Amino acid sequence: MKLSVWSSYYYDLSPEDALRELKAHGFDYCELSSEHSEVLLERGDAKVVGEEFGRFAKEVGITILQGHLFFWGKRICDPNDRALIKKQLDLFQAIGIKNAVLHCDPLVDENGVKAPIEIARRENVKAISELLDYVKDTDIVICLENLISSPAVNNVEGLMYFIEHFNSKSLGICLDTGHLNINDRNQVAFIRRASKHIKALHLADNEGKTDQHLMPFGKGNVDFVSVIREMKAQNYEGLYNLEIPGERNGPLEILGYKLDYIKKIMSYLDRITEN
């Protein structure tokens, strides 16, 4: 199991210090957060900065196989935002990130009204097509994430619409267990339907009402034993990545203790799902 933590667990640290802390607590992999991507891009040219950060990660002993594309205040159907996402993809390519997690655009107007699903699909197809064309000569896979409030991608069939529409090796799926727990909770059915197209994971727990981003076996009710067992049954080879900003309250030392505990939780899950 390639155990990973979203770097935004240490969102108030520099990208370098976040990697140092993760490594200090025994993690060899991480997902680069959109916040840390933004910090890196502010330093200069995406390719130059990315190659430098990639070298640093290698020296520290962290492999960054997964990254989260911009989503806070960004919409892929907006040409200006899409241009920023392309710069981020350049950064990912330079770092060596293989799987780029992307949020589809819910297309909400100024009054909070969502566009009909047919329009949302049509406009997102245009935006995704442009991004797929941008990465066609790279080994990056754009992974569409299941979202809570976006009708076009709030379930597995919504995501499979795009997968089947494009039929591209450069397009995959990111399963967010927390989001799914709020929508329909059938994690195993999602995994079986998406199967080989799942290239990234956001493992997070909640109580089924809000996106709390908790570690497994706390207050939440996601059945992680079934999730991990089914992912293994589908021969998933990507990161078992924890997206748990709900656990990041506390001083630096306490955050480290939490990571030590999380490693034990995931070791338990790995062990009991071996067969």
221-235: pLDDT as tens digits: 999 999 999 999 999
pLDDT of the residue at 175: 98
Domains of the chain in start order, with CATH, are: 2-272 (3.20.20.150)
> Could you tell me the pLDDT band of residue 260, with boundaries at 50, 70 and 90?
very high
Would you state the structure tokens that stand for residue 83, as one six-digit string?
């241009």
pLDDT interval class at 108 (50, 70, 90): confident
* Rounded mean pLDDT, 95-104: 98
Task: Calculate mean pLDDT across residues 119-128.
Answer: 97
Q: How many CB atoms within 10 Å of residue 112?
A: 6
Q: Distance between the two ends of the chain, CA-based, in angstroms?
A: 14
Question: What's the pLDDT score for residue 110?
Answer: 80
Kindly tell me if the per-residue pLDDT of 112 is higher than 90: no
DSSP string, 190-228: HHHHHGGGEEEEEB-B--SSS---BPTTSS----HHHHH
What's the pLDDT score for residue 73? 86
Averaged pLDDT, 66-77: 93
Q: What is the pLDDT of residue 25?
A: 98
- Per-residue pLDDT, averaged over 74-82, amounts to 95
- Could you give the 3-state DSSP secondary structure of residue 156? helix
Count the neighbouring beta carbons within 10 Å of the beta carbon of residue 72. 8
Q: Is the pLDDT of residue 275 over 80?
A: no
Q: Assess contact for 215 and 242: CB atoms under 8 A.
A: yes
**Position 145 confidence tier, pLDDT thresholds 50, 70, 90:** very high
pLDDT at 150 (0 to 100): 87
- Whether 111 has a pLDDT exceeding 90, the answer reads no
pLDDT of residue 264: 97
Residue 251's pLDDT band, with cuts at 50, 70 and 90, is very high
| Two tokens, residue 120 | 């949302």
User: Quick one: pLDDT band at residue 128, thresholds 50, 70, 90?
Assistant: very high
> How far is the C-alpha of 28 from the C-alpha of 43, rounded, in Å?
25
| pLDDT grade for 206, boundaries at 50, 70 and 90 | very high
Average pLDDT, the chain: 96
Which pLDDT score is estimated for 151? 86
Question: pLDDT for 1-31, tens place per residue?
Answer: 999 999 999 999 999 999 999 999 999 999 9
To the nearest whole percent, how much of the chain has pLDDT over 70? 100
Per-residue pLDDT tens over the stretch 156-183: 999 999 999 999 999 999 999 999 999 9
